Structure 1
Amino acid sequence: MNAKTLSFGLVIALVTAMLAAGMTVVGTHLLRMDEAAGSSFLSGLFTSSSKESVEFVEIKNVVITLKSNTPKERYLLLELNMATNNPEHSRRAQDMIPAVRGATVSLLSDMDYDAVRAMNVNELHSKLMAAYAERFSRLKMDVPFDDIIISKMVFQ
């Protein structure tokens, strides 16, 4: 091995060491900036930037007396969940539970037991969403939730 080969090997080792040290310093600096800012530059490269969370506002025990052709009283028990994607909308939906309950009772109490019983969940969902849109438009408000989920439906 001559002096020229030895010096060339030393230069390559020195350049590689300096690049590794520089990358370590830059990486450490980026990680510390992410910790201070509360976000992650590196993880942001590999994840979706549009993370939406869904919040639910529960309405329990909505009892509706349905019309019946028999002298026997007929009831429907519903439990609903209003789905929102925004904490502000969630708070507004919580405040508007009486309007949602009222629209639900108004819609279904005028219906015959057999007609409601014959509906599937999707039909009932569509009718409820239309009733809520109408109720909130009369109140001159936007509907504060994106969807309604029927979590319980019991007929008696």
Structure 2
Amino acid sequence: MLDQELNAPKEGAVTPVRLTKRQNILQAFKYLLFTASAGLIQVASFTLLNETFHWGYWLSYFIALTLSVVYNFTINRKFTFKSAKNVPLAMMQIFLYYVVFTPLSIWWGEALTRAGWNYYVVLIGTMVINFITEFSVYRFIVFRNHMYTNKEGQEEIAKMQAEEL
């Protein structure tokens, strides 16, 4: 009895969830859809800033990327990863990813557009690279041990466990 009490998870402790194959596929699909909607926000804001205000590539890209990241983080945290993880901590981890990604993507974006590449070809290519790398950061670093910890996620886990019985 004492051994069971010592090994029991502490209240508020996070127990990593093992996702089923179906859940992994659904998670990737949700991420694709939500990130595509963030991509629309990024392209629309980039187009507005670049075409209407005639701002240069890097400034238009930076503002559009920032808007997209805030939206993408918020929606994917709640619906894709179903996480109740400390928001400031999770945002700090994503911020650190962007401390690396943003200067690199601005650098290659400026270099390619100055070399004559179409702004939108560069933007879409950069968005694809961002999609793949950001999903990996969310899935394997930021929310690795914090998936299905919000109310909806806990309800889904309870439902799955009840079906197993």
TM-score, reference length from structure 1: 0.31
Greater RCO (CA < 8 Å, at least 6 residues apart): 2
Structure (1 or 2) with the greater helix fraction: 2
Please identify which structure carries the higher strand content. 1
